[in-house]
Amino acid sequence: MAATDIVKRIYAPTALVGQIYAAPYGTTNLPPIGNVLEASVEYKESVESQDDMTQLGGGKHGERRRVTDITFKAKLADLNVVNLARGVLGTIEPQNAGSVADKPYTVARGTLIPLPHAGVTNLLLKKGTNVVAAAGNFDLLPEGIRIRADAIVLTDGDAITVSYDYADQVVIEALTAKAPELVIRFGGLNEADSGRPVLIDLWRVSQSVTKKLALLQAKGFAALEIEGSLLQDPTKVAVGISRYMRTTHV
């Protein structure tokens, strides 16, 4: 089939699935971002019109239309570290496994002592020089040490120290980075047309902070809803070449 035959093709029902890839603007190698439930590009335009004053009944003499905004929106099913960090304008801080020795705390029965690390093991809690057994006194949880309200050995105001080992982990510090600018490619496959490929490139997307980050919900899976504006890519300079986006059909 010649390329001109693709232009003439009429049959084109569309139901796309596929992988979305993204990386910082200016990057050539794009990793996948995971399962994306929805993605779209939306356009806004301003319209100016001029009345036809040459005859009875009115009408429109002229019209001017200009695109004012192009927005990329997506709902991400995979809340991985990279997607989350971009969604909350955060920085990623990998922390290798390590240990903490004799960190001081004060007891308040019935409350949680939030530890600064996750994946804690080999916890040793001391009151003075004496080791305090967990049974009947505290519970080690993923979020920290919960002192029991009816603790046997521990009382309010006791000075204690804790030592422990912790696992490899990654911390995301939210609102510590500027909005990311991304280059995005969608490798679409048309399920309504024999899996025919459709490629969509967004040359420069400024991603905004997510409008909502679900913590708890009774039903369904959490999703990360993101959006961003398509900005002009000044590296695209050839005649007839878009500085915003491109689609490729076969």
- CATH of the domain spanning 13-92+174-249: 2.30.110
| pLDDT tens-digit map of 204-214 | 999 999 999 99
Mean pLDDT of 144-161: 97
| Residue 173: pLDDT over 80 | yes
Beta strands in the chain (DSSP E): 16-24, 36-51, 60-76, 91-95, 98-106, 112-114, 120-127, 130-131, 138-141, 144-147, 159-166, 169-173, 181-190, 196-207, 224-230, 245-249
pLDDT for 100: 97
Can you tell me the distance from the alpha carbon of 72 to that of 225, in angstroms, rounded to the nearest whole number? Answer: 11
Read off the pLDDT band of 125 (50, 70, 90). very high
pLDDT for 9: 84
Element (H, E) at 4: helix 3-8
Is residue 57 within 8 A of residue 31, CB to CB? The reply is no
Q: Which of 81, 80, 140, 77 is nearest to 113 (CA)?
A: 140
In the chain, domain spans: 13-92+174-249, 97-167
DSSP 150: T
pLDDT for 4: 87
Read off the pLDDT band of 1 (50, 70, 90). low
Q: What percent of the chain has pLDDT over 90?
A: 92
Can you tell me whether residue 5 is helix, strand or coil? Answer: helix
Is residue 75 within 8 A of residue 126, CB to CB? The reply is no
| pLDDT tens-digit map of 2-11 | 888 888 888 8
Least confident of 14-23, 27-36, 152-161, 212-221: 212-221
Mean pLDDT of 75-98: 97
Q: How many CA atoms lie less than 13 Å away from 131 in the CB half-sphere?
A: 7
